[in-house]
Structures are given as C-alpha cells and as structure tokens.
Amino acid sequence: MPDSRVPRRRRFLVCEPRHFAVQYAINPWMRPDEPVDVIRALDQWQALVDTYRAHGHTVDTVKPVPGLPDMVFAANAAVVVEGRVFGSLFHAPERRPESVPYEAWFKAEGFEVYHPESVCEGEGDLVQAGRWILAGTGFRTTREAHREVQEFFGLPVISLTLVDPYFYHLDTALFVLDDDNVAYYPEAFSPGSREVLARLYPDAVIATREDAMAFGLNSVSDGRHVFVSPGATALADQLAERGYAPVPVDLSEFHKAGGGIKCCTQEIRENRS
C-alpha cells in the first residue's frame, strides 16, 4: 500500500510514574502482592515521552502526587474536545483524589473544567471519533455520564457496553485510528454494541484476544503512526497492511495495573478534528 497516511501533530498530557505502585485491586490485572519495578516503569514512561516528541508531538506533564499510585494514567483524568474539558469522577474511591491535581493543571493552562455529576473516567471510556464520541460503559463510566457528555460538547455520543472485566475501559478494547476508522476487539462488547460498531466501521481493524490481552488496543494513533504494544504482533501486521506505521513502545510494567500506552496519555484537543 502506498505511503498515503498523514500524521497530525498532537498535544499530550502525561504524569511521571514516580509514585506508581499496585496498592489495591480494582480490575483483574491488579495484584497488590506482585511487586512493581518503579525504575523500569520510569524508564518505559520516559521512552514513551521521547518517542512522542521524536514524532513531532507536544508533551506536557502534570506533577505526580504522593499517595496517588494510579495518577500516571493521565487518560482517565478528563476528555478534552475543542479546548473544552470534561473532568472526571472516578468509580473507585481510591482514585477520586486524582481529579484535583489534574483540574488544577488545566485551570493553570487557561481551561475551564466541567465537573461531572455521574461517574466518568475521562478518555478511559470516552474518545472523539470524527463527528461523534464513542463512549464505554459497563464497569466504570455510567450511561448518565454519556448524557452529560453529549449535553456538554453538543456532539452525538455512541454508547457501547463492555462485558469482559479484563477490558474494563473502552480504551483497553478499542482505539481510534483516524476520523474515519477504529481498531477493536469485538468480544469485549455486548452483542448490540458489536453490531453498532460493525455498522459504523465496516472496514475496522479487528484484533484477536491475544493482541487485546497484550494491550494492543491501548494504543495511540496520530493518523499515520500508531504507538502500540510490542506484544500485539498480529495487530501491528494488520496496521502496516492498511498503510499505518506501527511504533512499538514497551509499557509492560504498567500492565500490572491494567494500563498501557493510551492509559498514560491524555490528548488535549484544542481545535476541531
């Protein structure tokens, strides 16, 4: 396939995993008795930041807070569309304090932040996909939050129900390739949601369970380059066949907490896609 995919420069917000640990279990990946190598996590995270910058993207950082081991998962803090920030209200009490430092960062940057009334976990379950927002529910973000999001942004919200606890956030089961297409693992979704996705994206990249379990769908795409888990080899092959350029980045230390590349990456969309 000719090299016709065009990358778009992005602005990302990340948080250094200085205090990263698995201190509680709120998803099937988390085992508090399994130690985390913080030095390895820091090295992997820095490699991700360096890779983004090497591909022309802007990366901002929010200061980590002691006692918030999951704060590294910046995607869960908010969803930003056209410079408008819809904040978070975490499902787990352990994570709710994370909203405060992220809100402070956005306000310091001149953004106004909307406080959701319903449980909502940012880009973990909400992602702009061209003319609409794809929204996950079933384990974390509620359908009531989906309605809040639609009212706030004025964009159609497509609700998708997640059914497999290993894929507890939408961003573990699906990622947006560009304004017109996505990659996803069908069995992570309810039958009706699978039908919706098949209708919306008849040419979607379909991942295997093996690639999904390797956090292959917790990826970030700039429209050409796809920053993807090196363990998702079949998915990377499919992407290359479609004209995308897979960029493997190893964040395996973060898999111990149920996170990967996208979980560590908040996208700040300041202009219309």
263 is catalytic: yes
264 is catalytic: no
Cα 3 from Cα 157, distance rounded (Å): 32
DSSP 8-class letter at 263: T
Cα 153 from Cα 146, distance rounded (Å): 11
The burial class, CB within 10 Å (0-12 / 13-18 / 19+), for 273 is middle
DSSP E strand boundaries for the chain? 11-15, 58-62, 79-81, 84-86, 113-114, 126-129, 132-137, 157-161, 174-178, 181-184, 205-206, 220-221, 225-228, 245-248, 266-267
Active-site annotation holder among 15, 120, 263, 264: 263
State the Rg of the chain over Cα.
17
Question: What count of other Cβ atoms lies within 10 Å of the Cβ of residue 142?
Answer: 20
Tell me the β-bridge partners of 85: 80, 113
Which helix (H) or strand (E) is 240 found in, with range? helix 233-241
Active-site annotation holder among 146, 169, 225, 255: 169
Residue that is written with structure tokens 């888990």 in the block: 229
Tell me which residue of 170, 181, 265 sits closest to 227, measured CA to CA.
Answer: 265
- Catalytic residue positions, numbered: 169, 263
